[in-house]
Amino acid sequence: MRSENASIPVPELRVIPRDAHAVSRKDISSSALRVLYRLRDSGFAAYLVGGAVRDLIVGGHPKDFDLATDATPDQVRQLFRNCRLIGRRFRLAHVVFGREIIEVATFRANVDDGSGDREVHDGGRLLRDNVYGSIEDDAIRRDFTVNALYYAIEDFSVRDYVGGFEDAQNRLMRLIGDPETRYREDPVRMLRAVRLAAKLDFEIEAATAEPLPRLAGLLREAAPARLFEECLKLFLSGHAQESFLRLERHRLLEVLFPESAQAMAANRSGALRTMVLEGLRGTDERVANDEPVSPAFLFALLLWPAYCRALATLQAQGMHAVEAQRRSADRVTVHQLQTIALPRRFSLPMQEIWLLQTRFSLRQPKRVSRLLSHPRFRAAFDFLSLREAASPDHAEDIAFWREAQLQPGAATSALPGSDAGGGEDEELDPDGAPRRRRRRRRNRAG
């Protein structure tokens, strides 16, 4: 089906028999298998599809198991007591097994964005009608060839209509159909290309990669709430650093985080970018160790360059430090919300992490105990440590507060009594000139 410019590809079936692929029932959740068998035993076609087949083929561990069938949602519901139908326009069946949900979708015709959030176009007109279709229709409306593989429970073969099996062998993300058309239909596919390539260590095939920088601006039209969700997947799934580097390479970062991208470009020493990369590496490590990761900390990190730059600008205009910090935090947040809908429950602690940074250099006993008991102390301290890793400048503060945490009682009596060098903002000048580090005076933050 490699007709290069056709926007609607012609599906052509290739069957990969059970001994020629790596998908094995022992790697599929028992709940998913039960649903597959029940559908088949009732005379319906039943397949494992999408990310799960893709991940299994390349030796990964799928996090969920989605199924496709020719049974209608109502027919699916009649087969399972533990089933509920969701969605208005396109109904999906959720079969519930304790905490596990197996999503069962009826083969779907018509190209759609798969997100369910674009039912109506800007003008309010229906985007497309909801029509069930054949398995071929279902295959070509998916985004990437490797996401359009079907594992058939009837003979354990993999059915490939779009060349996805070969692309998986070659570790390639390739859009189905004409790339530009598919990105225009749903710009979030640009992020999905990068995210899945980062996650799977794939390359983005040349024709699929080519439009990215050109069409990156279309992301501004995507729903900000969806972009927030996509960001969490990009940066909190264990491949944040790789996602970031690839977003940079394909010129998507500057659309997602315009002010941070500008600040990093203007920061000649590269310290801001180094810090972000270092922070993302740490995030990946935490995910790998099954430790919790927080969107507030993540966004504090990703928007730190923007915050530093805004702060430098306001302070250069003569604004008092405390006021400048608050204003910068608000300004950066409000601007970022135009693209990514960061919920307040994350943006508020994100701002606190920033605003607490200058308080690490203040060591009067009362301030010390107040900061130690601040709900955001730990996050803010970790953030300070990260800044130190990127540009050593806060060693003394870090040593002090590490000690203070270990011995809350002793903290007040162990005051070094100096805040020299502490709490300095990243070197950054709005016009990109390296700035001399000034010794910051104590301020009354807090």
Residue for token pair 């970062």: 253
Does position 51 bind Mg ion by CB under 5 A?
Answer: yes
Binding ligand ATP (rule: CB under 6 A), the pick from 9, 11, 114, 187 is 114
CA distance 210 to 356: 42
Q: In a 10 Å sphere around its CB, with 0-12 CB exposed, 13-18 middle and 19+ buried, how is residue 111 labelled?
A: buried
CA distance 130 to 40: 25
Q: How far is the CB of 221 from Mg ion (least distance, A)?
A: 24
Is 382 one of the annotated active-site residues of the chain? no
Residue of 317, 314, 303 lying closest to 272 (CA atoms)? 303
Q: In a 10 Å sphere around its CB, with 0-12 CB exposed, 13-18 middle and 19+ buried, how is residue 107 labelled?
A: buried
Q: Which two tokens stand for residue 17?
A: 């028999």
CA distance 342 to 231: 10
Q: Binds 114, which of ligand ATP, Mg ion, none (CB < 5 to 8 A, cut-off by type)?
A: ligand ATP
Our CB check for Mg ion shows the closer of 101 and 341 to be 101
Q: Of the listed pieces 181-189, 274-282, 304-312, 316-324, which binds ligand ATP according to CB under 6 A?
A: 181-189
Site string for ligand ATP, 55-74 (x = CB under 6 A): -----------x--------
Is 66 one of the annotated active-site residues of the chain? yes
Does position 284 bind ligand ATP by CB under 6 A?
Answer: no
Q: How far is the CB of 358 from Mg ion (least distance, A)?
A: 42
Is 397 one of the annotated active-site residues of the chain? no
Q: How many residues bind ligand ATP (CB under 6 A)?
A: 14
- CB of 401 closer than 8 Å to CB of 373: no
Which residue among 55, 113, 138, 143 is the active-site one?
Answer: 143
Point out the residue whose Cβ comes nearest to ligand ATP. Answer: 51
Q: Of the listed pieces 25-33, 110-118, 210-218, 432-440, which binds ligand ATP according to CB under 6 A?
A: 110-118
Does position 114 bind Mg ion by CB under 5 A?
Answer: no
CA distance 290 to 288: 6
- CB of 137 closer than 8 Å to CB of 8: no
Task: Measure the N-to-C terminal CA separation of the chain; round to a whole number of Å.
Answer: 63
Q: How far is the CB of 60 from ligand ATP (least distance, A)?
A: 9
* Interaction site with Mg ion (CB under 5 A): 51
Active site residues: 64, 66, 143
* Interaction site with ligand ATP (CB under 6 A): 50-51, 66, 113-115, 142-143, 147-148, 186, 188-189, 233
